[in-house]
Homo-oligomer: A and B are copies of this chain.
Amino acid sequence: MKAPDVNTSPYHRFLGLTLNRFEEGLAEVGLPFRPEFLRADGSDWIHGGILSALIDIAGDYAVWSKFGVGVPTIDLRIDYLRPARAGNLSAVGRVVKAGRTVSIADIELRDEVLELVAVGRGLYASPKV
């Protein structure tokens, strides 16, 4: 399956997202650190809104790897395990189910020292065949 081009999305360009792995049932996205991602002046914690976006995108690309097209997110659960400190982030999405109507992906988000900082589970609309 040909990897999608992350740079066709204005929001992905805005964030500076990279697609680091793209295999059947798995996708890994990376996010090089920018100070604009911090949650508060004087803090070195990254904002939760950055983490949830990365998790959603990694799950979406994982499902894409099964069907060859982008899929709308139906719902998403995110659990924040610990603060993500300033640094590069990476999120790995894995497909749990690729169904006829809906698909599910599990996502793990790690910080620069590979500590697990958040996990997600997303439901995506499978493409109509």
State the A residues within 8 Å of B (CB).
Answer: 8-15, 35-41, 47-50, 52-54, 56-57, 70, 72-81, 83, 96-97, 101-102, 104, 119, 121, 123, 125
Chain B residues with CB under 8 Å of A70's CB are 40
Q: Which 4 A-B pairs have the closest CB atoms?
A: A49-B53, A11-B47, A14-B36, A52-B52
A9 and B79 contacting across the interface, CB-CB below 8 Å: no
Residues A9 and B73 in contact in the complex (CB < 8 Å), given A79-B123, A101-B125, A119-B96? no
A41 and B9 contacting across the interface, CB-CB below 8 Å: yes
Complex CA distance for A48 and B75, rounded to whole angstroms: 10
Please give the distance in Å from A37's CB to the nearest CB on chain B: 6
